Structure 1
C-alpha cells in the first residue's frame, strides 16, 4: 500500500471511530453573531488568492451577510490542495466546517458518507417554501450525487443540456431545407445534401457534411438519437449495464459507418487533431458540427466577426442553426461541477441544517449571483441606458478580489446567471441559451455516473476499459474491423475488468 493509500485508509478508520460519538455533544441552538444572525462555518475553494480582500471587500461581505441573514466564517482552500484539506476535515468531525466544498465523489467521500459524515439532504432540499431555489434542483442530477440512497450534497450546477448539432443555415436554404431536422432521416438528408447538393453554389464537388476529429464525443451525442443511453442504461431487469449491450448501439454504429462509407464525413477524421477541429466549417468545406452547442455558436461568432458571407444572401453573414435534440434525445453533461456537503457532526440539529441550506438557497438569488459575479453597483458595475449591466472592472483583477471568491459559495440553482440585471447578449448567445434550456427535459443522463466514481476496478482500469470501446467503435466505423471483430473487442472489455465494474456499480445501485 502506498503512502497516500495508507493515509486515506487511516482517515476513513478515524472517521468511522468518531462520527458515532459526536452526537453526544449536540448544541441545541445554532451559534449566532452580535446581530442575532446564525453563524455558519464554510470551507470552500480559493481561485483568486487573497479572497474577499482590498477596497470595498468589507462592504461586499456586509451586503452578503445582511441579505442572507447569516454570519459566515470562511476557510479558503487552494484548489490544488482541496482533496488533502477535505481529508483532514473528515478526520476531525467535531471541528469539520458545517458546509464544505468537494470536487468530486471519490472513494474517500463515499467511505465517509457510508460512515455517516454528511447530512442526507433528500428530506430537506425539495421543500419549495423554505428553499425556493434549491428545491428546483434537477432530480436526475441529484441521483448521481447519492451514496447508498442518501443525497450527500448540493450540486454546483453546470449546463445539463449543452450538447447538440449545429449546421450552416444558408447551406440548408441553398439545398432546399427550411425546417430543422427532427429525426435521424432528416439529419441524413441534411448531411447528404451538404455533401452532394453543392450547398456553396460554386459548381464543384468540394464540400462534405459533418466535421469530426479524433475526439469521439460527437458519436456519444448522436448515439442518443437512436435511444442509446449515456454510457450506461437500466435494463429490463433493473440492472445498470453498459450501452453497448443495447441493440440500438449497433444500429447507431451502422449509421455512423454509412456516413463514413458515403463520404458525408471526412475519410481521415480519426487522425485529425482537436486543435484544428471546426476549421473546415469555418472555411466553408464542411457544414455541420456536433458537440457542445457553444462550439457551434462560436463558429457562428466567427462568421459574424469575420464577415463570412451567406451563400443565399451576400448582404448578411453566414449563420448556424442550433439544434438540441433529434428524436427528442440528446446527451446530458454531468450537470454539475463539485458539491457542497453538510457535516453531520457540526450540523447536528435541524436548526443548523436549515441555517446552512437557507444560506445556500439565498446565494442563488439574483442579488447574490450579481454580487459574486460583478460586485457592488456604483463601484464595480453600473446599468446603461437600456438597463444592461456594464462591468466596470472587467479587466481589473485587483478590484475583483473584493467579491470574486464569493462565486465559490453559489450553487447556481436554478439559474447559472442572474436573470436581472443581465449583461447584454448577442442574438447568438440568446439562441444558444434557449436551446440549452429546451434540452433539459430530453437530456439523457448517465445513471451510473456516481457509482463509477466508487468502483475500485474502474478507478484503476477505467481509462483502459473506455479506450477498448472507443477504439473498436472508431475502427468499425472506418471499416478497419468487421462486426465480428467488433464483438470480440467488446468481449475483451468484460474479461479485462468490465465484469467487475458492472458488479461494483450494481452493488451500489441496488442499496
Structure 2
C-alpha cells in the first residue's frame, strides 16, 4: 500500500520538477492534450479475479510490470477508499505485479523524452499521446522498442490484441516492425448525415450515389424543405472548416491525404479523381447549394446551420450529426419535425456515399514496449498479456465503471446504472485506469448503460463505415520525413487555399495546376521521395 503511494508521489513529483526545469530553461510548456453502497459486489468481483489469477498463475510465473500512463485527473487517478482493491483485482486477473507511473498530462512529452534518455530505467510499457512523431520513429529505428509483429497476431495467446486492424497496424510500423499497440478509436467516424424530416417532407429517398447527393442538396435549397414559403435554406452546411471536402473526395475515388497509385504513394491532389471532386464541388457552389460566404464563416459556427434550419446536410463526424439530433430533441432547443409536428426533427446518420468514406487514423495514442527493460521473451509476453487481458469484459467494466454495488448496479432490464456519475470522489477510485486500455477489439462491455436511439444509430454507422473507410497509407512515413516536418504545414496551406479558390471560382484549372507545381517546387517532391523510400523498404 505504502509503496504504491510513494511511486505515485515520485512520478508526480518528477513531472512537476521537469515542468519547473523546462520553464527555467526558457522552453515553451507542452500543450495539454466519472453514495456509498454495500461491498457485496466488490467481494464477488474480487473472488472472480482471485480465481482467474490462481488459474493463470498455475501456467506462468507472475512478472513485475512497470507501466507509464497518462493522468488526466490532476493527480487523483486511482485514488480513494477502493483504489487499492481495484488495482489488486487487475493484478490478480492479469497475473502481474503492476507498478503504475502516473504522469500528468501536461508534462507527458517531457517525461517520455527523459525516459528514452535513460534506457535502463525505461518503464516496460510506455503510453504515448496522439499519433507517431518523428522522435518516436527515430527511436524505433535505433531499436528502442520491441518488434511486436512476432507476437501480437497470435490469436491463442492474445485474443484481443490480435484483432487489431491491419491498416492501423501499418501506420504504427517502422522499417517493417510493428512498434506499438494502438489505443484504438472508431475508424468509421466520418460520413454523411442529413435532416430526415426534410427528406420525408420532400419525398426524397436515402441517397446512395454522388448524383443522389446533388439532387438532395438541390431540393433542400430550392424546394422549401421547411415549408415556410421563404427561400432561406441551403442544402449543405459549410464553414471555413474544409474537412467535409476531404470526405467528399473519397466518394470520387481519392485517397485520404495520400493514395497508392501504380506502386507509388502520391498526395491526393495529384490524382485525376481530385479534379473530378473539385469540379463537382465547384458546381455545388455555383448552383447556390451551400452558403455563398462559407469560406469566411468561422469554424466555431460549424453545425449551427443544421441546428437552426438553415442547412439540411452535414458532412463530418457521425457523432456531430448525432449531436444535432440531440439538439432537436432536447427540451430547451426542441425542434418539431416539418413532416410530423407531433415529433421532434431528426437526422439520418447515413455514413458512406458511393460505397466510400474517409477513415480516421483509427487510434489516438499508443503503447510501446521498451526493448531495454522488456529484455526477455517472458517479460514481453507478460506485458502483452496484461495489455490483452485488460480488454476482457471484466476488466473493461472494472476500469470504466468500477465495482458493482459500489460504483454501479444492474437494473431489472439488465442495463448498467452508474451510481457515481456525479460523484467525483467515489469515481476517483477507478478514474484513469482506462488509460491502460487499447480498446481492442472495440465493443461495448456487458452489462452496459441503456442507449437512446440516436446513440445506437451512431454506433451502428461506425461499424458499417469501417468496412469501406479509406485510410492514409503514408501516415507513418510522413512522421519520419524531415522535409514534411519542416515545411509540411506550409505546403498543405498552398493546396487547401487553392482548393477553396477553385471551388469559389476565383482561379481556373491553370491556377489550380500552378499551386500543385508550387507545392512540388517548395519541398513537395522531396517529401514524395522520402515517403516512397520508406514505403518501398516496407514492401
- With normalisation by structure 1, the TM-score equals 0.91
State which of 216, 219, 222 in structure 2 corresponds to 1:193: 219
Residue 300 of structure 1 is matched in structure 2 by 325
| 1:67-82 paired onto structure 2 within 5 Å | 67-82=93-108
Residue 287 of structure 1: CA displacement? 0.7
- Counterparts of 1:111 and 1:452 in 2: how far apart (Å)? 12
Q: Distance in 2 between matches of 1:496 and 1:400?
A: 52
- 1-structure distance, mates of 2:68, 2:491: 35
Matched, 1:157 2:184: yes
Is the Cα contact below 8 Å between 1:146 and 1:450 reproduced in 2? yes
- Give me the whole-angstrom Cα distance separating, in 2, the residues matched to 1:50 and 1:301: 32
Residues 187, 359 of structure 2: 8 Å contact kept: yes
What is aligned with 2:29?
Answer: none
Q: What CA deviation, in whole Å up to 9, does each residue of 1:113-163 have, x standing for no partner?
A: 111111111121111111111111100000000111110010000111000
Q: Which range is displaced more, 63-72 or 252-261?
A: 63-72
Q: Is the 8 A contact 2:79 2:428 kept in 1?
A: yes
Q: Which residue in the other structure is 2:269 paired with?
A: 244
Any gaps of 5 or more consecutive residues in structure 1?
8-31
Which region of structure 1 is more displaced relative to structure 2, 182-191 or 394-403?
Answer: 394-403
2:410 aligned partner = 383
2:168 paired residue number? 141
2:87 counterpart of 1:61: yes
**Alignment partners' CA distance in 1, 2:233 and 2:78:** 53
Q: Where does residue 394 of structure 1 map in the other structure?
A: 421
- Mapped to 1, the partners of 2:109 and 2:303 lie a distance apart of 36
Contact conserved, 1:158 with 1:416, CA < 8 A, in 2? no
CA positional deviation for 1:206: 2.0
Q: How many residues align?
A: 479
- Deviations for 1:168-224, whole angstroms, at most 9, x for unmatched residues? 11111122113x211101111111111112212223322110010001000001100
Moved more, 46-55 or 160-169: 46-55
Q: Does 1:316 align with 2:343?
A: yes
Name whichever of 150-159 and 64-73 sits farther off.
64-73
1:24 corresponds to which residue? Answer: none
List structure 1 runs of 4+ shifted beyond 4 angstroms: none
- Summarize deviations over 1:412-435 as a string: whole Å, max 9, x none: 0112542x0111111000000000
Name the CA distance, whole Å, in 1 between partners of 2:108 and 2:411: 40
Write out per-residue CA displacement over residues 251-277 of structure 1, whole angstroms, 9 at most, x where no aligned residue.
000000000000110100111012222
Which residue of structure 2 aligns with residue 291 of structure 1? 316
The question of 1:228 aligning with 2:249 is answered no
For 1:78 and 1:147, how far apart are their aligned partners in 2? 28
Structure 2 counterpart of 1:405? 432
Give secondary structure in 1 for the equivalent of 2:467: helix
Residue by residue, what CA displacement relative to the aligned partner does 1:314-335 show, whole Å, maximum 9, x if unpaired? 1111110111111111000111
Q: 1:139 to 1:175 in 2, by over 3 A?
A: same
Corresponding residue number in structure 2 for 1:37: 62
Match of 1:84 among 82, 86, 110: 110
Segment of structure 1 superposing worse, 119-128 or 389-398: 389-398
Cα distance between partner residues in 1 of 2:349 and 2:432: 34
Question: 2:3: which partner in 1?
Answer: none
- Residues 157 and 416, structure 1, Cα contact 8 Å, conserved in 2: no
Alignment counterpart, residue 174 of structure 1, candidates 201, 204, 209: 201
Q: Report the CA distance between 1:80 and its aligned residue.
A: 2.0
Name which of 237, 242, 248 aligns with 1:211: 237
> Is 1:268 aligned to 2:293, yes or no?
yes
Alpha-carbon distance between aligned partners in 2 of 1:467 and 1:423, rounded to the nearest angstrom: 43
Which residue in the other structure is 2:52 paired with?
A: none
Matched, 1:463 2:480: no
Given the two structures, how large is their TM-score scaled by the length of structure 2?
0.86
What is the CA–CA distance in structure 1 between the aligned matches of 2:533 and 2:104, rounded to whole Å? 35
> How far is 1:399 from its partner?
2.1
Give the secondary-structure state (helix, strand or coil) at the position aligned to 1:510: helix
2:349 aligns to what SS in structure 1? strand
**Which digits, 9 at most, give the CA deviation of each residue in 1:326-348, with x for residues without a partner?**
11110001110111001112212
Which of 46, 52, 58 is matched with 2:71 structurally? 46
1:107 to 125, 134, 138: 134
| Preserved contact between residue 138 and residue 480 of structure 2 (Cα < 8 Å) | no
Q: Does 1:128 align with 2:128?
A: no
